Amino acid sequence: MFTCRTLHHDPEFLTLGNHSPPSFEIQRLDRVGVKEYLRRYFRNDKASADDLIEQLELSNDHIWGEQTSFVHLARIPLHLQMITLEYQRTGKIPPNKAKMLRTFVSHMVERDRVRQAAQIDVDAKQRVLGCLAYKGLEAGYYLSMPENLAKTIVADAVQDLRNEGIIAPNIPVDTVWQEILSNNFLTLCRNGHHRRSLPVIEWLHQILFDYFLACEIIRVLVVLGTQEASAMRRRMGMGIWDQPCQIALGLIDPQQGAKFLEILVQTVSRLARCSFEGQSEEDAIDLSEAIVERYTQDDRWEEEMLARISLELPYIPVVNSPIECFRASEEYKRQSIANIVSRIAREHYGSPSAERAQDILTSWIANRNEVVRFYSAVGLWARDRGRAAAVLRKLHKHGSADVQTMVSDLIDDWGLH
């Protein structure tokens, strides 16, 4: 028996009589394995192999050491093949996992279109398959479901697309069904060995299910935001939503991503962290800047939401973005940003993001704004209690009436008498 995840195989496979079959777990490729794979794939094109290896930065120890780096996707042969297909098409590697999957899906649809006259395009198929993934979950099924249920879901999806003018009214449901089967996203099999067993459809690979569920997540939560979104949010507690949400965040632009992260923070904060962690360093920076921009506009200054998201996503890019915003902000916004950075330093003490927050608070503690100095001292209390206490004593003695009250309240709260 071969499996790519030891924990995910069916235990029944190992209880065949008194003997267990030989079992092998497929391991991820190391750097040497990735290079060998590519050089064999491009055996007649050494320049392409070398260029792709260079783009993946396989020799960069820092990137290889970062578990969220895109290069780690190349360790999985299926993903490495997807990367290679995109490289052959464009001469570049995909920017992230989500866009890699979108390219792969488009390639599968295009390959089938060349063989026969397809009557629905890739966007329509994504809608149908996204609906199939989500409605299957609603009915209690995950990677497989009865064929008759799948056909019913597809029929309903096709009717919705007809109503929207995306699928022509004269295209039969059976044609759509046969096309999505032909694309090999799904397989049809019997549930059991008995000839009377009911047929079931199964997703060819979990990653395909996750991708199409991600497409539906975007449509329902980010684009529509209707009552259907409330129903989806109530179902998002299980771990099977982790990778689809991560993929969804990688498919949309940073502004939509900021909105999506707000939804996740308000729904299941763990999903927000998981989704953000899975993004590349460059995408994480873009998302962080979009988050700050979303909540610091003059006509939409939302300190509480910015604070909530920043505290739920305690990562260095999320800390850096408010810091950058601080320099160009009005005084009242600077006070709010200082409060947020101070809270990150205290509530995530010991984390890299808290260390970064404390670094900047060290410079802000001398700011001419008394409130900024107050929050800086509070955030630095754990790192440099002597300096923080000195600033607080000075503010308590010589500060404005409001700041003196803030220090007095802090003394009471922390029992510093």
Summarised one tens digit per residue, pLDDT across range 33-65 is 999 999 999 999 999 999 999 988 888 888 787
Intra-chain end-to-end CA distance of the chain, in Å: 68
Q: Does some domain include residue 197? A: yes
DSSP-derived pairing of the beta strands 24-25 and 186-190: unpaired
Closest by CA position to 185, among listed 225, 223, 215, 221: 215
Alpha-carbon gap, residue 275 to 98, rounded angstroms: 11
Domain match, 246 and 379 both: no
Structure confidence by residue, pLDDT tens digits, 88-101: 888 888 878 888 88
Overall pTM > 0.75: yes
Per-residue pLDDT, 342:
92
Domain match, 142 and 199 both: yes
Task: Residue 397: give the domain boundaries.
Answer: 303-417
Domain match, 161 and 270 both: yes
Domain match, 203 and 148 both: yes
Alpha-carbon gap, residue 226 to 70, rounded angstroms: 34
Q: Does some domain include residue 285? A: no
Domain match, 113 and 203 both: yes
- DSSP string across 263-330: HHHHH-HHHHHHHHHTS-HHHHHHHHHHHHHHHEETTEE-HHHHHHHHHHS--HHHHHHHHHHHHTS-
Structure confidence by residue, pLDDT tens digits, 131-168: 999 999 999 999 899 999 999 999 999 999 999 999 88
Token pair 């630095």 is found at: 380
Alpha-carbon gap, residue 30 to 290, rounded angstroms: 35
Q: Does some domain include residue 296? A: no
Model confidence at 347: pLDDT above 70: yes
Q: Does some domain include residue 20? A: yes
Q: Does some domain include residue 315? A: yes
Single residue among 45, 67, 94 that ends a domain in this structure: 94
Q: Does some domain include residue 171? A: yes
Domain match, 207 and 324 both: no
Q: Which runs of E-coded beta strand occur in 52-206?
A: 144-146, 186-190, 199-203
Domain match, 129 and 85 both: no
Domain match, 246 and 327 both: no
Q: Does some domain include residue 167? A: yes
Domain match, 66 and 90 both: yes
Single residue among 228, 247, 279 that ends a domain in this structure: 279
* Mean pLDDT computed over every residue of the chain: 85
Model confidence at 186: pLDDT above 80: yes
Tally of structural domains, the chain = 3
Domain match, 167 and 89 both: no
Per-residue pLDDT, 153:
95
Domain match, 271 and 132 both: yes
Single residue among 74, 94, 114 that ends a domain in this structure: 94
Q: Does some domain include residue 6? A: yes
Domain match, 158 and 251 both: yes
Split at pLDDT 50, 70, 90, the class of 415 is confident
